[in-house]
Structure 1
C-alpha cells in the first residue's frame, strides 16, 4: 500500500486510482459539480477498489451521462417546437398566393362548366315553351 489518500468508498490506497478516489470523495460529499470537474464523465474505476465502490462510481457516471443526454433532447425538442411555431406564424402572416395573383382585367369565369351551362340553357328554353315562328 502507498501513502495515497484512502478511497472514501472502500478505503483503498492504490495510487493508480487517485482520480477515481477523489471523485468518489466528491460524490460522498454530495458535491456533483466538483465530481464533474474532477472528470466524472470520463473516469474509469480504480482496479484496486472493491466491486461495490467501483459499481457506485460507474453508476454515478452513467446516471450523469443519462441526465445530460435527456437535457440535450429536451433542449432540441424545445428548439424544434419554437421553429415550427415560427414557421406557422410566418405562414399565417403572408397572404395566400391565390389571392395575390387575382387579375382584375381578365374575363370573368363562368359560374358553371360548359356542359352544365348548355343543359341549363336547354332547360330554360323548354320551360319557356314552344318557339313561335
Structure 2
C-alpha cells in the first residue's frame, strides 16, 4: 500500500523534472546558437520622410482642405485658421504638427495607408495619381 502511494507521488514529479531539464537544455542551446555578436539585433533603417521632404509637402490652412476637417492622428477637428498639411496623392489633411510627427516616422498616409513615394515630390503634377 505504501509502495503504491510512493510510486503514485514520485513518478509524476520525476517525469515533470525530466521534462523541465530537457526544456532548460534546449533553451540554453537555442540561446547560444542564435547569438552573433557582430551583427545588431535589428538593423537600423530610416523609415520616415526627411525634414526637407516634409517642407516640400503642401502646407495649407484648415479652410483649404479638400476632404474632411478632422485630423485622423490626434482625432481633433482642424479649425479653419489652423495650419494643416495635405498629403500628396490622396489629399488627406491633418494638423501640421501631427502630420510632420507622423510622416517623419512613417512614409504613409495615416488615413488610407497610401505610400508617399519619392516621385510625389517631383515638380510635374501630371505624374501624381490619386489613391
Q: TM-score w.r.t. structure 1 length?
A: 0.28
TM-score (norm 2): 0.28
Q: Give the structure with the higher percent helix.
A: 1
